[in-house]
Amino acid sequence: MNKRDIEHMMRGLISRGTAVADQPMSNYTSFKVGGPADLLIVPGDAEELSEIVGACKREGIEFYIMGNGTNLIVSDKGIRGVVIKICENFCAYSIEQNTVTAEAGMLLSRLSNIALQNGLAGMEFASGIPGTLGGAVSMNAGAYGGEMKDIIVETEYMDREGNFGSIKGEAHSFGYRTSAIQEMGCIVIRSVIRLREGDKACIKACMDDFTKRRRDKQPLEMPSAGSIFKRPEGYFAGRLIEDCGLKGYSIGGAQVSPKHCGFIVNTGNAKASDIICLIEHIKSQVGLRFGVNLQTEVKILGEQ
């Protein structure tokens, strides 16, 4: 099936969402890099998503799921197949006592503020994580001593054939930057979050403190994808990179941030290939000097 046939078929399935051909992924990723996707689809709801995923499975069409593009590097050649963006149309939520049920496209920053407005504590750590709930649950995102595993009690998901399922509690199998959802390659639809009653002023003070720490220590003013590497056991990736003398080191427009060596930033004209080459150089240097095998936290997609 050629690109035109794929586009025609997918547009026939969509009544509530949108589909756009040959979209530069640099417009949809926080790194601001990436070539075109054959077809970018924003489903209108979970039922439409199921139809799209099911059609891709039946026709043997490659598809990729993305949220807000904050943990993603897309190659300069782009993505062959279908990119399904779950964000804008998956933002409904409800609150019952100390429990929040929210859809996967909800930004963590917005969800944290909703918890604050309702006097619910426990999400403060997530207030500055620049991604969606779905991505955060899948990878068990965390910061400042908190992780999604601490607050998620149930998740509805979709498998790679478009079928719905759910898991509760320990069945999430949360680990460091992983979960059962991620291991199964499934798609988060919505999650149930259990918080606790708290004082609004205290919750806000905690969120403000985390925000200040981020602004002081992280290069938030430049395009990046947050922490590039997972934390190696017994070490801090940023410290290892700095101790290799790589602070400020550049390849093309990609640079190890002089502010925080755990970040790679786009100085303005980076290509995806610059970032990927810099990642490999860092891994090589850290491996040679310290014998530590750094693993990326970001996803790298697309035609190489």
Confidence of residue 88 (pLDDT cuts 50, 70, 90): confident
Percentage of the residues of the chain whose pLDDT score is greater than 70: 100
pLDDT at position 35 is: 98
Of the ranges 10-14, 185-189, 270-274, 294-298, which one carries the lowest mean pLDDT score?
A: 10-14
Give the mean pLDDT of 14-32: 95
Q: Which is catalytic among the residues 80, 177, 194, 231?
A: 177
- 179 in catalytic set: no
- 166 in catalytic set: no
Q: Which is catalytic among the residues 48, 103, 147, 297?
A: 297
Which of 173, 202, 231 marks a domain boundary? 202
Which of 51, 69, 85 marks a domain boundary? 85
How far apart are alpha carbons 246 and 250 in whole angstroms? Answer: 9
- Give the list of residues 6+ apart from residue 211 with CB closer than 8 angstroms, or none: 127, 128
Confidence of residue 214 (pLDDT cuts 50, 70, 90): very high
CATH code, 262 = 3.90.78.10
CATH code, 188 = 3.30.465.10
Confidence of residue 4 (pLDDT cuts 50, 70, 90): confident
Give the mean pLDDT of 164-176: 97
Give the mean pLDDT of 284-303: 96
pLDDT at position 251 is: 98
Our count of domains for the chain comes to 3
Query: What is the C-alpha end-to-end distance of the chain, expressed in Å?
Result: 21
pLDDT at position 1 is: 76
Q: Which is catalytic among the residues 30, 191, 227, 257?
A: 227
- Give the list of residues 6+ apart from residue 265 with CB closer than 8 angstroms, or none: 219, 222, 223, 224, 254, 255, 257
Same domain? 15 vs 69:
yes
pLDDT at position 139 is: 96
- Give the list of residues 6+ apart from residue 170 with CB closer than 8 angstroms, or none: none
Give the mean pLDDT of 101-120: 98
| pLDDT exceeds 90 at position 3 | no
* Helix, strand or coil, per DSSP, at residue 8: helix
How far apart are alpha carbons 287 and 283 in whole angstroms? Answer: 6
Same domain? 272 vs 246:
yes
How far apart are alpha carbons 244 and 285 in whole angstroms? Answer: 7
- 177 in catalytic set: yes
> What are the tens digits of pLDDT across the range 229-275?
999 999 999 999 999 999 999 999 999 999 999 999 999 999 999 99
CATH code, 23 = 3.30.43.10
Which of 52, 85, 118 marks a domain boundary? 85
Look up the domain containing 235 and give its range. 219-301
